[in-house]
Amino acid sequence: MTIKKAGKKAVLWLSTLALAVGLAVPQTSAEETSGGQVKNVIILIPDGMSVGATTLTRWYQGGEPLALDEMASGLVRTYSADAPIADSAPAGTAFATGHKSHTGFVGVLPDEYTMPGLPIIAEEDRRKPVASVLEAARLAGKSTGIISTSEVMHATPADFTAHYPGRSNYDALSEQQVYANLDVVLGSGYQYLQPDARKDKEDLIQVLKDRGYDYVTTPAAMRGSTSDKLWGLFAPAALDYDMDRDPSKQPSIAEMTAKALDVLSRNEEGFFLMVEGSKIDWAAHANDPIGIISDVAAFDKAVGVALDYAKKHQDTAVISVTDHGNGGITIGNAATSSNYDKLPLSYFIDPLKKASLTGEGVARKFNEDFSNVNEVMAQYYGITDLTDEEVAAIKSTPSRSMNYTVGPMISKRSGIGWTTGGHTGEDVVLYSWSPDGDNLTGVVENTDVAFYMARKLGVDLNEASKKLFVSAREAFEQKGAEVSWNNKDLYNPIVVITKGNDTLELPIYKSIAILNGKEHQLDGVVVFNGEKTYVPQSAVDLLP
């Protein structure tokens, strides 16, 4: 069976409307649709990857097909709740939860829907957390994992594992991830788990170890791990672009994908894995074609790993789609307006082939006084004709932003065009593969990706939301209990519920509850969205 284009807009509208008025959304059962063949889903997200990026990478690599190519099955509309050009946080939220949201919002509903065709959201549902496919899979007994080349608490991986109406609140997002009972987390960002970088001063790395994870920081340790619970963070912030990467210090995204599949596949009930090639987006923001090529090629190898696994085991659906375009990258720019059809492939590709590092990598090669700019750019970028203005621009650029300066320089010399340094609003290519032929096809909404994955896994996102995100005050007061806050530690607040002789304490962003001094594990995390607190139903059930 194949999902067709017809009716997709209606599905989105009905799903969102049903949530707004508190109704359940009908979902087709797994038995009716997938024949019981699929028990695993892998989604691979090349953040900010416009179609021009895949075309350029394919030509750069000689024109041979990408692993992605055989999976191309349709297009995805990327707009958010209130804008035609989406930020990564709501775009990832749509993939993860089946709901469009607002700029900066991670795993929560928006304040309003203003794009055409979307309904009015009920006031009580604004900023309410909603369950992700990953969380629904975990509730169903499946293993779960995330991989990213950015910090793992960055927008897209956070969309699947945490909830907060502000993507920059790394303290809240990372703590939720640590307590989310994920089986595999691989990527970077360990500085955000260390007490000196956190307002709450918690040592979340020690918490991971105490919760039974094998915590690793090198590729060798990752490969050597035999644990069923693995956290691997290989840099304090984002990983290097693949072209700049030291293989002894940082694994490739393909290596992380292979390791995650090794661990997650031990669960006979199945698994869900999200893989993000994060810095494709960052390179596009910088208009850096070398960064684009570097990480699209690396990401495609991870797709190859996932697809090989799926074909071998015949029980896994693979879907890949970017959350939005970025940069408006084109093969051809203003300088090729009159001779575009006369230019050989070498005109565009040969200048790019001369670069051996991205702009981020080349920044490390300059002397402190930038006295070797010409030599470095000739050696690592193949540019021997820098103008005085370009040299001055390089010298005035902070190292962390060097790709924003040298990216446009090599773009100009290779005929690569850009329309913006921001995201773009066009439809993006959808890639999907399933052993039963039940692929996602046509022009679909980004929210349909979540519904498709949930259906393949046999899980219900609405039921998961009901189990994981109950309004704490309403639920406990209905039981005749009093709800208050313990704010003695401003950055580690606790919701306190009292009823008769019973006292239930619920630390924010943790999956633990303390009833009359005894600790209990919850099946979800306590979430405070800045206005209201939501708790798993299992927390409510603890109180008599």
Tokens 């920081």 map to which residue?
217
Residue pair 394/406 in contact (Cβ under 8 Å)? The answer is yes
Per the listing, tokens 């910088």 go with 286
Is residue 286 within 8 Å of residue 28, measured between CB atoms?
no
- Residue 121: what residue type? I
DSSP per-residue letters across 92-122: HHHHHHS----TT-BSB--S---STT--PPP
The answer to whether 529 and 108 have CB atoms below 8 angstroms apart is: yes
Dihedral in degrees, nearest 10, Cα atoms 162, 164, 166, 170: -50
d(CA 200, CA 490) in angstroms, rounded, equals: 8
CA angle 13/18/21 to nearest 5° reads: 125
User: Are residues 123 and 238 in contact, defined by beta-carbon separation less than 8 angstroms?
Assistant: no
Handedness of CA 301, 306, 310, 312 (dihedral sign): positive
Distance CA 331, CA 327 (A): 12
121: CB partners within 8 A, 6+ apart? 16, 20, 109, 110, 111, 112, 113
Block residue for tokens 């259906």: 455
Whose tokens are 């059962």? That residue is: 29
Q: What torsion do the CA atoms of 453, 454, 456, 459 make, to the nearest 10 degrees?
A: 160
CA dihedral 186, 192, 195, 196 (to 10 degrees): 140
Residues noted as catalytic: 88
User: What's the token pair of residue 36?
Assistant: 């019981």
The token pair that represents 457 in the structure block: 């896994």
For 50, 250, 433, the CA distances from 253, given in Å and listed in that order, are 19, 9, 20
Using alpha carbons, select from 29, 35, 28, 4 the residue that is nearest to residue 435. Answer: 35
3-state SS of 241-263?
A: CHHHCCCCCCCCHHHHHHHHHHH
> Nearest to residue 238, comparing CAs of 295, 204, 175, 190?
190
- Rounded Cα distance between 309 and 519, Å, is 40
Strands 143-151 and 271-276: parallel
Give the burial string for 195-211 (b: 16+ CB within 10 Å, else e): eeebebebebbeebeeb
Phi, psi of 426, rounded to the nearest 5 degrees: -75, 165
User: Of 17, 40, 8, 37, which is closest to residue 317 (Cα–Cα)?
Assistant: 40
Q: Specify whether the CB–CB gap between 283 and 291 falls below 8 A.
A: yes
Q: Which two tokens stand for residue 371?
A: 């006295």
